[in-house]
Amino acid sequence: MERSNYQRAKSFRKLKKQLWLLFLLLPPALILITFIFLPMASALWYSVYDWNGLIRGEFVGLENFRKVLLDPERNWFFFNALKNNVLVFVSLMIIQNGTALVIALFLAREPKGARFYQVVFFIPVILSTVIIGFQWKMFLNPVFGLINKILNAIGLHDWALPWLGLPETALPTMILVNAWAWVGFPAIVFLAAIHRIPRDLIEAARLDGGSEWQIAKDIIWPLMAPAVTIIVVLTFIGSFNWFELPYIMAGLEGSPAYSTDMLGLLFYRTAFGSISAGGTEFGVGSALAAIIFIVIFVFSIIATKILVAREVELN
Amino acid sequence: MAQINMLGVSKRFGDIEVISDTTLEIKDGEFVVFVGPSGCGKSTLLRLLAGLDEITSGEITLNNQRIDHLAPAQRGLAMVFQSYALYPHMTVYQNMSYALKVAKEQKSVIDEKVKKTASILQLSEYLDRKPKELSGGQRQRVAIGRAIVREPKVFLFDEPLSNLDAKLRVQMRIELTKLHKKLKTTMIYVTHDQVEAMTMADKIVVINNGEVEQVGAPLELYRSPANQFVAGFIGSPAMNFFSGTIKDVSANGIHFDLNNSGASIFLKCSDANVSIGESIQFGVRPEHFILAKKTDQIITGEVYAVERLGGETYIYLSSQTDDDIIVHFSGDREIKVGEKIDVGFSIKDCHLFNSKGWAIR
C-alpha cells in the first residue's frame, strides 16, 4: 500500500515536471509554427498552383519553378539577381569581414581608448537600415552629395561620379555602404573570440619567436574558428536576404539597368507586382522564395559542416 | 653558460608596486626556486625575466648583457606555463617544432631535434596526437619538450606541476630533477609548494609581498631562517611560535620568559640586538618536539586533535601559553583527544625572533 502511494507521488511529480516543460516550450513553439513553419509550408504549397491575383487557380506542379529557372524570357532576371547576391556575399566576406578581423586584432591589443573605438565601430550596427540608406543616398548625391564635394575639394574631379547612377559603380558602392554599416558586428564577434583564447597561448607563441603576423595566422586565426563559422553563415544569409538597403538606395527595379537587382527584390516584384514586372504572380514568386530558401539552407548546412570540422576545443 | 643578474628590479601596475627593488644572482647551471605565498610576486618576477611584462626600473642581465629591453623570443629563455599552454589545434610534433619552424630552421634539423627530445621525454609514440588526446602528465612533458627543442640558455617554469595529481606531481618532480642533471642548464622554477622547493632547488628564493626575504640552499633556510616569515613558510607543518619577553641580556646570551607559562629560558647567542622588556617570538618546529622526559624545557597542553597516518602522527595541542601547538612524531603514537601531555624541546633546535621579526642568533 505504502509502495503504491510512493509510486503515485513519484509519477505525479514526473507529470508536474512535464507540464512545466510544456508550459515553457509551448509559446515559442506556437510562435515558430505560426510565423516560420506555416508560411514556409504555405509558400511551398502556393508555388505549385496557378494564381489569378490572390485567387488560387489550378494545380500546375513544378511549372512555376520552370518559369523561374528555365523560361528563356525571364530566367535572365533570376540568374542576374543570383549573380549579384553571390557578388555581395563574396565582397562582404572580403571587405566587411576582413576589415572586421583587422579591427578585432587591433582592439585585442587593448590600445588606449579601446572601449571608445569599440563603440564607434558598433554605432552604425544599431542604426536602422532605412536611416543608413537615406543618409548614404544623400552623401552620394552627384549634385549636392558630401562625397563628391570632398572629392572635388581635394582635386579628384574625375572621381566625382554619380556613384549610384552607373551600372559599374552602383553595386560596389552599396556593398561598401553595407560594409560600413555592419563591420562593427563581425568585429565584436571576432574580438570576443580572440578574448576567449587563453593569454598563455599567445604568450607561449611570443616566447617561441612568433611575429605578430605569425601569431595571428598560426594561433589566433585557427582558434577563433567558431566565430568564423557563425560570421560566414550569417553573412551568407544576410547577403541572400539583402533587400532593404538596395530597395532604399536603388529602388525596386535594381537600377540602374538591374545592376543592383537582388533575389529579394525580384521576389517582391514577381509576387506583389511592379512597373516592370506588371501584375502579381503569386505562384512564381512563391517558387522563387522556395528556391532562395533552398539555396540558403543547403549552403548553411554545407558551410557549417565544413567550418565546424576545423574548430578545436580550447582546453 | 647562463648567469642571470637582477639589479634593483621593480615592477609597478599603476600605483601598486608588486616587485620592489629586487637584486638577485642566479649562477650558471643552478636550479633556483622562487617560493612564496599566492600573490607574493614570484610569477611576476618570472614574467619580468621572460619579457612577458616590462620592468619599471632596474636591470636584468644574462651573461652580463642587458636583456630587459629585448623581446621575449630574443632573450634565449624558454618558459613552461602552469596551464601547459599547448596549441590545441596542433599535434605534439607541431607544438614542439613551432619555435624552430618560426626561426626558419631546416626541416631535417627540426625533425632531428623534435624526435631526440621526444625520445628523452618518452613522447615518441604520441607525436601525431593532439593535446586533448593526452593525459595531464603527457601534456606537461610536451610543454617541457617544447622548451627543450629551443635549446634555451635558461628554462623558466611557472608552477608547472600544480595541475597534476599528487602522485604524478612526485613523479614529475623527480623527472625534472633528472632532466636538470642531464641538461645542466640554468633553471628557474616558481612554486608555492615548499616541498617542491626543498626537494628540487639548489637555491631557494623566498618572496613575500614583492620582496626577497631570504636566498639560500634549502637546508640553510630550514636551519637558519633569516626572519619569522621564512621560518614559518619553510617547513611543513609550519613552525610553532610562542610570545615571550626579554628578561636579561648578557655577553653570553639572553634570558626570556614565555608569556603565560612561567617558563624561563636562556639562549646562547653572540649577536643579540635586543633590549630588556622587548617582545620576542620563540619558534619550535613540530618535528623538534618530543614527549617530555629529560629535555631542556617543557610545555603542557591538552590534545584537541590527533592525525595518525601510520608512519607519522600529528598532535594538535592547546597549551598553557594560549598558543595552539602542532607536534609531529614519527611512527604511530596512541594519544587520545582530551589527554594532557607534556612536550619538550631542545634549546639548540629553537629559533628566536626580535620584535621586528628578524632572527636572533
The predicted structure's pLDDT at residue B250: 83
Of the candidates B83, B85, B88, the beta carbon closest to that of A313 is on B88
Lowest average pLDDT, out of A177-181, A311-315, B41-45, B347-351, goes to: A311-315
The answer to whether the Cβ–Cβ distance between A205 and B88 falls below 8 Å is no
pLDDT band with cut points at 50, 70 and 90 for residue A3: low
The predicted structure's pLDDT at residue B121: 87
- Fill in the amino acid letter for A90: V
| CA–CA dist B229, B219 (Å, integer) | 16
The predicted structure's pLDDT at residue B9: 95
Strands B186-191 and B31-35: parallel
| Contact assessment for residue B206 and residue B33, using Cβ atoms and an 8 Å cutoff | no
Mean pLDDT of the residues in chain A:
92
pLDDT in tens, B88-142: 999 999 999 999 999 999 999 999 999 999 998 889 999 999 999 999 889 999 9
The predicted structure's pLDDT at residue B4: 95
Residue B295 pLDDT > 80: no
Residue A211 pLDDT > 70: yes
Residue B32 pLDDT > 60: yes
**DSSP structural state of residue B133:** G
Report the SS3 class of residue A84: helix
B84 → chain A, closest CA residue: A200
The predicted structure's pLDDT at residue B296: 60
| CA–CA dist B232, A312 (Å, integer) | 45
| Contact assessment for residue A235 and residue A300, using Cβ atoms and an 8 Å cutoff | no
Kindly report the pTM of this predicted structure. Answer: 0.81
Report the SS3 class of residue B263: coil
Chain A closest-CA separation from residue B87 CA (Å): 7
| CA–CA dist A296, A234 (Å, integer) | 10
- How far apart, in Å, are the Cα atoms of B198 and each of A171, A257, B38, B160, B228? 71, 82, 18, 16, 18
User: Which residues lie below 8 Å from residue B130, measured CB to CB, with a gap of 6+?
Assistant: A312, B88, B89, B90, B91, B92
Of the candidates A198, A209, A219, the beta carbon closest to that of B83 is on A198
Query: What is the dotted CATH code of the domain comprising B240-360?
Result: 2.40.50.140
The predicted structure's pLDDT at residue B68: 93
B77 touches chain A (CB under 8 A): yes
What cell numbers appear for A236 in the block? 551568407
Chain A closest-CA separation from residue B3 CA (Å): 19
pLDDT in tens, B191-233: 988 889 999 999 999 999 999 999 999 999 999 999 999 999 9
Q: Which residues of B touch A211 (CB under 8 A)?
A: 102
For B217-226, the CB contacts below 8 A with 24+ separation are B222/B198, B224/B359, B224/B361, B225/B351, B225/B359, B226/B358, B226/B359
Residue range A9-38: mean pLDDT, rounded: 93
The answer to whether the Cβ–Cβ distance between A209 and B73 falls below 8 Å is yes
Sign of CA dihedral B126, B129, B133, B138: positive
The answer to whether the Cβ–Cβ distance between A207 and B83 falls below 8 Å is no
Residue A315 pLDDT > 70: no
Cis peptide before A256 (omega within 30 of 0): yes
The answer to whether the Cβ–Cβ distance between B89 and A198 falls below 8 Å is no
Residue A45 pLDDT > 70: yes
Q: Which residues of A touch B82 (CB under 8 A)?
A: 200
Chain A closest-CA separation from residue B86 CA (Å): 7
The predicted structure's pLDDT at residue B276: 86
What cell numbers appear for A211 in the block? 611575429
Give the length of chain B: 361
Residue range A261-284: mean pLDDT, rounded: 86
Q: Which of A213, A205, A228 has its CA nearest to residue B94? A: A205
The predicted structure's pLDDT at residue A298: 95
| CA–CA dist B25, B5 (Å, integer) | 5
Of the candidates B50, B87, B130, the beta carbon closest to that of A207 is on B50
pLDDT band with cut points at 50, 70 and 90 for residue A7: confident
More confident residue, A280 or A197: A197
What cell numbers appear for B228 in the block? 619569522
A223 → chain B, closest CA residue: B89
Beta-bridge mates of residue B155? B78, B187
Q: Which residues of A touch B77 (CB under 8 A)?
A: 207
B102 touches chain A (CB under 8 A): yes
The predicted structure's pLDDT at residue A246: 95
Residue range B317-333: mean pLDDT, rounded: 86
B6 touches chain A (CB under 8 A): no
CATH architecture of the domain B4-233 equals 3-Layer(aba) Sandwich (3.40)
The answer to whether the Cβ–Cβ distance between A210 and B98 falls below 8 Å is yes
- Fill in the amino acid letter for A30: L
| Contact assessment for residue A85 and residue A241, using Cβ atoms and an 8 Å cutoff | no
Residue B273 pLDDT > 80: no
Residue A54 pLDDT > 80: no
| Contact assessment for residue B41 and residue B19, using Cβ atoms and an 8 Å cutoff | yes
pLDDT band with cut points at 50, 70 and 90 for residue A73: confident
Mean pLDDT of the residues in chain B:
90
B231 touches chain A (CB under 8 A): no
A220 → chain B, closest CA residue: B87
B83 backbone dihedrals φ, ψ, rounded to 5°: -85, 5
- Fill in the amino acid letter for A46: Y
Three-state DSSP string of B8-48: EEEEEECCEEEEEEEEEEECCCCEEEEECCCCCCHHHHHHH
CATH 2.40.50.140 residue ranges of chain B are: 240-360
Report the SS3 class of residue A57: strand
Beta-bridge mates of residue B329? B313
Locate all alpha helices (DSSP H) within chain B, ordered by sequence.
Answer: 42-50, 92-102, 107-120, 136-148, 166-183, 194-200, 218-223, 228-233
Provide the residue ranges of all domains of chain A, joining segments of one domain with +: 2-35, 65-309
Residue range B335-355: mean pLDDT, rounded: 88
pLDDT in tens, A153-174: 999 988 989 999 999 999 999 9
The predicted structure's pLDDT at residue B56: 95
Residue to substitute from B52, B70, B80, B90, interface A, most A β-carbons within 10 A: B52
**What ranges make up the beta strands (E) of A117-218?**
none
Q: What ipTM is given for this predicted complex?
A: 0.83
Residue A304 pLDDT > 60: yes
Q: Is A286 exposed, middle or buried (0-12, 13-18, 19+ CB in 10 A)?
A: buried
Strands of the sheet containing B211-216, edge to edge, are: B77-80, B154-158, B186-191, B31-35, B203-208, B211-216
pLDDT in tens, B5-24: 999 999 999 889 999 999 99
B85 touches chain A (CB under 8 A): yes
What cell numbers appear for B152 in the block? 634555451
| Contact assessment for residue B350 and residue B280, using Cβ atoms and an 8 Å cutoff | no
Residue to substitute from B96, B98, B140, B158, interface A, most A β-carbons within 10 A: B98
The predicted structure's pLDDT at residue B93: 97
B51 → chain A, closest CA residue: A207
Of the candidates B73, B87, B146, the beta carbon closest to that of A206 is on B73
Kind and range of the H or E run holding A192:
helix A184-196
Residue range A80-86: mean pLDDT, rounded: 97
What cell numbers appear for B23 in the block? 637584486
More confident residue, A54 or B184: B184
Q: Which residues of A touch B102 (CB under 8 A)?
A: 208-211, 214
More confident residue, B349 or A265: A265
Report the SS3 class of residue A173: helix
Residue A111 neighbours by CB distance under 10 Å: 10
Domain A65-309 belongs in CATH node 2.40.10.120: no
| Contact assessment for residue B296 and residue B268, using Cβ atoms and an 8 Å cutoff | no
| CA–CA dist A198, B250 (Å, integer) | 61
Strands of the sheet containing B57-62, edge to edge, are: B16-26, B4-13, B57-62, B65-66
Chain B closest-CA separation from residue A246 CA (Å): 41
Residue B271 pLDDT > 90: no
The predicted structure's pLDDT at residue A274: 77
B310 backbone dihedrals φ, ψ, rounded to 5°: 90, -70
Instruction: Cell 634555451: give the residue.
Output: B152
Chain B closest-CA separation from residue A126 CA (Å): 35
Q: What do you get for the CA distance between the two ends of chain B, in Å? A: 37
Chain B closest-CA separation from residue A98 CA (Å): 22
More confident residue, B199 or B1: B199
pLDDT band with cut points at 50, 70 and 90 for residue A310: confident
| CA–CA dist B330, B94 (Å, integer) | 49
Residue A1 pLDDT > 60: no
Residue B294 pLDDT > 70: no
Residue to substitute from B53, B80, B81, B157, interface A, most A β-carbons within 10 A: B81
B79 touches chain A (CB under 8 A): yes
The answer to whether the Cβ–Cβ distance between B98 and A205 falls below 8 Å is yes
The predicted structure's pLDDT at residue B297: 67
Chain A closest-CA separation from residue B330 CA (Å): 43
pLDDT in tens, A178-189: 999 999 999 999
